Chain A
Amino acid sequence: MSRSLQHEVTLLELVDRVLNKGVVLSGDITLSVADVDLVYVGLRVLLSSVATLEEQAQLAAGGAQR
């Protein structure tokens, strides 16, 4: 996987953790649900693009070996 993609995935994983994991000590929610949903959509789009790119890379590598 390319360095920039790895970086992007890592960033999205980070956002996912900060917004959706972690201990909840009640308190007032200050985030809208839409914000959190956007993060999930971003993750999903990105992962499928990673899968596609990897596939292309494997095809290219396989072609070179043959």
Chain B
Amino acid sequence: MIHVYGLVDELAELPPTRGLDDAPLERRWIEGLEVVLSRAETPPSAEVSREAVLRHAQVVEELMARSGAVLPAQLGRAFRDEAELAAALQEQAAQLVRGLERVRGCVEFGLRAVGEPGVEPEATTGAEYMRARLEQVRRQDALVAALHEPLAGLARESTLHRDAADEVRAAYLVPRDAISAFRETAERVAASPGLTVVCTGPWPPYSFAAAER
């Protein structure tokens, strides 16, 4: 079985780390793309282990430190052999090349924000319910304006998810030279009263690796 860590561009050298199950890392050119992988005799177990997640993440992180661009691969997929991997890469080759260009020189930051639980008014009529719902949407709009917009302005790209539970999740693709400005802004917006904000990063660009829709 073949386990893929990611696609790289301008990888200076393989990191000294070993891969899943302590297998050595390999770099292979397949379908015009450079892939970092490791091999295993048996299919990986169906259960995801903490060890496997951390090892995969560590390899991807070290690839990011040594290359011009990296597209992290999702953990939990395996290929029987190089022919199967080649077929999969060929299918998406053009998108993958564009993907590498998209993330070049960037890191990812993540943001999760939870607003103070609003006082739920007792909705006894449909109109009251609609008013309460509208109020919730307004709170979220305010949250997005206060948190997300200043950060998105510093990012090359961003994603935003809003949950019903007053929660906002976002990811930002941030050019390396904007990292300190991004961090300062994140600290400033995170200090908003009545909010719990968690900003994490820098990450390899996991959230921007999938093909653009």
Measured CB to CB, the residues of A under 8 A from B are: 1, 6, 9-10, 13-15, 17-32, 35-36, 47-48, 50-51, 54-55
Contacts and interface: CB of A to CB of B under 8 A. Distances in A.
B63 interface: no
Nearest to B167: A47
B78 A27 contact: yes
Contacts of B84: 27
For chain B, the bracket of interface size reads 35 or more
Contacts of B75: 18-19, 22, 31
Contact of B47 (A6, A29, A35): A35
11 contacts: A13-B203, A18-B75, A22-B209, A24-B77, A26-B88, A27-B78, A27-B85, A31-B46, A47-B196, A50-B198, A51-B196
B112 A27 contact: no
Interface stretch (B8-16, B66-74, B127-135, B146-154): B66-74
A21 B74 contact: yes
Contacts, number: 120
Q: From DSSP, what is the main secondary structure of chain A's interface residues?
A: helix
Nearest to A1: B198
A27 B68 CA distance: 26
Contacts of B211: 23
